[in-house]
A and B are shown apart, each in its own frame.
Chain A
Amino acid sequence: MFDRDYVQQLEQKQAEWEQRVAKEIEKRPERKKEFTTDSGIGIERAYTPVNIGAKDYERDLGFPGEYPFTRGVQSTMYRGRLWTMRQYAGFGTAEETNQRFKYLLEQGQTGLSVAFDLPTQIGYDSDHPLARGEVGRVGVAINSLEDMEILFDGIPLDRVSTSMTINAPAAVLLAMYIAVAEKQGVPADKLDGTIQNDILKEYVARGTYIFPPRTSMRLVTDIFAYCAKNVPKWNTISISGYHIREAGSTAAQEIAFTLADGIAYVEAAREAGLEVDEFAPRLSFFFNAHVNFFEEVAKFRAARRLWARIMKERFGAKNPRSQMLRFHTQTAGCSLTAQQPEVNIMRVAFQALSAVLGGTQSLHTNSFDEALALPSENAVRIALRTQQVIGYEIGVTDTVDPLGGSYFIEALTDALETEAQEYLERIDATGGAVKSIELGFMQQEIQESAYRYQKAIESGEKMVIGVNKFQMQEDTRPALLRLDPAIAERQVERLARLREKRDAGRVAAVLQRLREAAVGTDPLMPVILEAVRAYATLGEICGVLREVFGEYKAEQVV
């Protein structure tokens, strides 16, 4: 981005400057011998045009909204419209969560994000023996269309966009959403939202898988195909680095493993006969905003550029929308401390700011009490207000990619891209993401990084305020959300009544049709939609698929 002769002269001058500084350092040493990002990328004393001299503005950065989208996927970014403020919420039964949704919408939230409880995420009804203790805990329990009707009661689905964190049984929950919309008189082509539907990262990091990887990929591509025709505005997948990072990966691993999963989905969809530009515009991503501020800003930019190049050069995508990496961000849950929890408000604010400076399309800010319990209403409100301060008060939204062109940010963007690219090459050489996951490669790499990070905290090399630095005796604790223990009973009773009152013959018949489709090669989405309309439960539908597809058992290596 600078004239070559000029950079050469500058290099000379910079070397002289370094010599002058070296003398000073002899007298007054710097705080550390070496400075690195949290992911171990070396940080220089100061960055100058020398660090980015070889970059070509048009080739490597480009204008906002244009290839390779380093500076953002829209030409006006937040000058046009702010990101969607979308707080992940759900607990107890559909009634409680419906109340929380209405509260968040009243407080100025602009999209919904549903958290499901673990039995729902793993395809068990609330009365299953393995659901013991887990019903309504980390999210809302949804057993049938009846629960989904209550969940969205009074919320017009043509006027809100909804993100659902659901993976293995994503097809079933999407079918329920479509069926609720039908009852509200909203046609499927008006629906706007996202299902996570990213099964690969479940094996790598998050753990709510049901079926083995290869049959799961059939369900994923089945949804791509169905939505391309019937629910065209729906984001059919949210390819997630968030949980990979939470499990302990570095920033470069987060980019690489996420994009490797993305490549596997694109390949699977093409093998299923879809054209890349037919489904790729609906692919979306989900990243973590972690604690090392500049590294995170650079990470979002590097991921965008790398994905654009992969889509264009490797897959021949022509539609610019297929090349755009659009993403949701959540602040880093694992960075929240149980000690002096109010300090988490600051951590979340800085992380959220990095996501905004990195050009996120939507954002969830964590609540300060989440290392202690499910977030209370007060803590959720502060988290949302944090986004509103960033969006409306401090002026960071007034120009596109304000850190673009910073010597440091551009150099860091390059370093992350290069490291991620190297990982991608290793994964390709292994035979792709599915194979790497089956071999435990990504899992092992993440575990190593997680252990290193923990060691760094314990040695004091990495400081965590309130944990290994500036600790204090704490007597007061914030008021935490307590769940009513009767929630599980109420949910199980409602399920029992449903099983009594529905048309059992119709349910049995449609489940039989589902079994036949699963054994064969017919599309599954239309049959699943029929099943949910007949009030077949999530557990029954997943039960049929479990029988046909089998269940995944993870190899345990520690």
Chain B
Amino acid sequence: MADRPIRALVAKVGLDGHDRGAKVIARALRDAGMEVIYTGLRQTPEQVVEAALQEDVQVVGLSSLSGAHMQLFPPVVELLRAKGGYDILVIGGGVIPEEDIPYLKEAGITEIFGPGTPTTRIVEYIREHVS
């Protein structure tokens, strides 16, 4: 297999400082053979998109536990598409009520992984959906 490894950006959007989950997922993706960049805290959607394009990633994982996901996740997809990142997969996680999920999916966040999701499921999902 001479395939180049999947490149992933794990991003904390908004002001929320809970990054245990984001860091655990970054580690799990790396252990699964992906190249992972973690943005650190307090990123705006604009900063996330810039990092995603600059680092040439195939998947962006967004994390928010503060309830700001409805305002902060959709602009990431919008800006990515506007700047030419058409094929970049965008997924999300955190404390996200089930009734918010249809809206987020509509906005182009293709999957939401809530608390209790095994990291292996996220790895499989990314492998299946990255083009």
Chain A residues in the interface with B (C-beta under 8 A): 118-119, 121-122, 124, 130-134, 137-138, 202, 206-208, 246-248, 334, 336-339, 370-374, 447, 450-451, 454, 457-458, 464, 466-468, 477, 480, 483, 554, 556, 558
Contact = CB atoms under 8 A, between A and B. Distances in A.
A464 B15 contact: no
A91 B55 CA distance: 37
Interface string B107-123: 00000001110111000
B94 to A, nearest CB: 10
21 contacts: A118-B14, A118-B16, A122-B15, A130-B15, A131-B15, A132-B68, A132-B72, A134-B66, A137-B68, A138-B66, A336-B115, A374-B67, A451-B28, A454-B28, A457-B118, A458-B119, A458-B120, A464-B116, A467-B116, A477-B98, A558-B26
B4 interface: no
A556 B39 contact: yes
Interface string B5-48: 00000100011111110011011101000001011111010000
A246 B68 CA distance: 20
Contacts of A457: 118
Contacts of B14: 118, 132-134
Contact of A207 (B18, B27, B116, B118): B18
Contact of B115 (A338, A450, A468): A338
A133 B30 CA distance: 30
B70 interface: yes
B84 interface: no
Interface string B46-77: 00000000000000000000111111100000
Given A207-B41, A467-B116, A454 B24 contact: yes
| 10 tightest Cβ-Cβ pairs between the two chains A and B | A207-B17, A133-B71, A133-B68, A118-B15, A556-B40, A137-B67, A467-B116, A558-B26, A338-B115, A558-B38
A207 B19 contact: yes
A234 B70 CA distance: 39
B76 to A, nearest CB: 12
Nearest to B29: A558
Interface centre among B23, B27, B36, B44 (most CB of A within 10 A): B23
Interface centre among B27, B40, B41, B116 (most CB of A within 10 A): B116
Given A206-B17, A372-B98, 5 more contacts: A121-B15, A454-B24, A554-B41, A556-B38, A558-B26
Interface residues of B, number: 37
A309 to B, nearest CB: 31
B95 interface: yes
A246 B20 contact: yes
A372 B38 contact: no
Contacts of B28: 451, 454
Contacts of B68: 132-134, 137
Contact of A558 (B18, B36, B95, B118): B36
Contacts of B26: 558
A118 B66 contact: yes
B27 A451 contact: yes
A373 B20 contact: no
A472 B75 CA distance: 35
A338 B115 CA distance: 6
Contacts of A458: 118-120
B9 to A, nearest CB: 12
Nearest to A457: B118
A327 B20 CA distance: 24
A467 B69 CA distance: 24
Nearest to B26: A558
Nearest to B10: A558
B70 A133 contact: yes
A118 B120 CA distance: 31
A554 B40 CA distance: 8
B27 A208 contact: no
Contacts of A454: 24, 28, 119
A447 B97 CA distance: 27
Contacts of B10: 558
B36 A247 contact: no
A450 B66 contact: no
Nearest to B65: A138
